[in-house]
């Protein structure tokens, strides 16, 4: 009797694992990205334009129910945008100037999300809704298309990578459609919004002693992919 009772949890776990379904695929994600910049009025930090980004990589959907899946993967994504701010020139009598920075970053991204699927709305077609977040690590940064940046006020040159925090995190929400093309092949297309939660500024408050500067990422992406 005791052996039977001990066996039941093992059997349940085995059945659960066997019934779970893992789908692995690839996706590409062209996107429009921008930077949300905030500061006290005297510094005048603000967003001054978006840029085109491109990403892609591995996606993994682990189904724990017919219509529910834990979705993750490993992606390479491009983010950034243009910001402007007020500064003083390096003259004898400093004059306020407006400085513009075009910041481009590449991130290695680990999504941590849940996908909710509808039943079929048409032949072999289901809608999905995705919500969660992602952890992102920068692997490359350019300012004004260069790996180095010379501050127009101080004339000091720094690496562009020193301007960006070593970690970022996004809140993620999206929706789309998935089409069963063959027995184990699915095509999907959707739209996702990625809202940065972390202040990525590592330069203005540290090197320039500017106070209360906040710079965060945002991206709107088109997700196109195939699962096998």
Lowest mean pLDDT among 12-16, 172-176, 190-194, 211-215: 12-16
Given a cut of 90, whether residue 72 has pLDDT beyond it is: yes
Other Cβ atoms closer than 10 A to 175: 16
d(CA 30, CA 106): 13
Residue 90: predicted pLDDT: 54
Quote the DSSP letter at residue 164.
Answer: B
- What mean pLDDT do residues 180-186 have? 92
Write out the H or E segment, with its range, that includes residue 3. helix 2-19
What pLDDT is stored for residue 11 in this prediction? 36
State the chain's mean pLDDT as an integer. Answer: 90
What integer is the mean pLDDT of 124-153? Answer: 97
Q: What is the pLDDT of residue 6?
A: 42
How confident is the model at residue 183, as a pLDDT?
Answer: 87
Give the model confidence (pLDDT) of 152-174 as tens digits. 988 999 999 999 999 999 999 99
What's the mean pLDDT in 31-55? 96
Q: Is the pLDDT of residue 14 over 80?
A: no
* Tally of residues, the chain: 228
For the chain, domains (ranges, CATH) are 21-227 (2.40.160.20)
The mean per-residue pLDDT over the stretch 76-99 comes to: 84
User: Across residues 142-161, what is the average pLDDT?
Assistant: 95
Residue 127 per-residue DSSP state: E
Q: How high is the pLDDT of residue 88? A: 76
Distances (CA, A) of 68 to 32, 45, 113: 29, 42, 11
- Which distant-in-sequence residues (6+ apart) come within 8 Å of 174 by Cβ? 129, 130, 131, 190, 191, 192, 193, 221, 223
Q: Is the pLDDT of residue 117 over 50?
A: yes
d(CA 184, CA 113): 22
Q: Quick one: pLDDT band at residue 47, thresholds 50, 70, 90?
A: very high
* Residues in contact with 40: Cβ distance below 8 Å, sequence separation at least 6, in sequence order: 211, 212
Mean pLDDT of 68-94: 88
Q: Given this model, what pLDDT does residue 17 score?
A: 44
Task: Using DSSP bridges, classify how beta strands 148-150 and 157-159 pair: parallel, antiparallel or unpaired.
Answer: antiparallel
């Amino acid at each position: 009797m005791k052996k039977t009772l001990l066996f039941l949890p093992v059997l349940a776990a085995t059945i659960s694992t066997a019934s779970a379904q893992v789908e692995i695929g690839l996706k590409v994600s062209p996107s429009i990205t921008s930077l949300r910049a905030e500061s006290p009025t005297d510094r005048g930090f603000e967003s001054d334009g978006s840029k085109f980004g491109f990403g892609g990589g591995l996606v993994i959907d682990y189904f724990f129910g017919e219509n529910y899946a834990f979705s993750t993967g490993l992606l390479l994504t491009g983010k950034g945008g243009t910001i402007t701010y007020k500064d003083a020139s390096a003259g004898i009598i400093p004059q306020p100037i407006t400085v513009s920075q075009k910041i481009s970053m590449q991130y290695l991204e680990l999504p941590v999300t849940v996908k909710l699927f509808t039943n079929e709305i048409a032949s072999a077609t289901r809608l999905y809704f995705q919500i969660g977040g992602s952890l992102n690590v920068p692997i490359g940064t350019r300012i004004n298309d260069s790996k180095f940046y010379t501050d127009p006020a101080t004339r000091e040159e720094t690496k562009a990578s020193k301007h960006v925090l070593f970690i970022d995190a996004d809140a993620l929400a999206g929706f789309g459609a998935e089409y069963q093309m063959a027995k184990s092949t699915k095509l999907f297309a959707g739209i996702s919004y990625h809202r940065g939660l972390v202040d990525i500024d590592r330069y203005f408050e540290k090197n320039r002693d500017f106070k209360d500067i906040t710079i965060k990422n945002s991206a709107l992406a088109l997700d196109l992919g195939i699962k096998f």
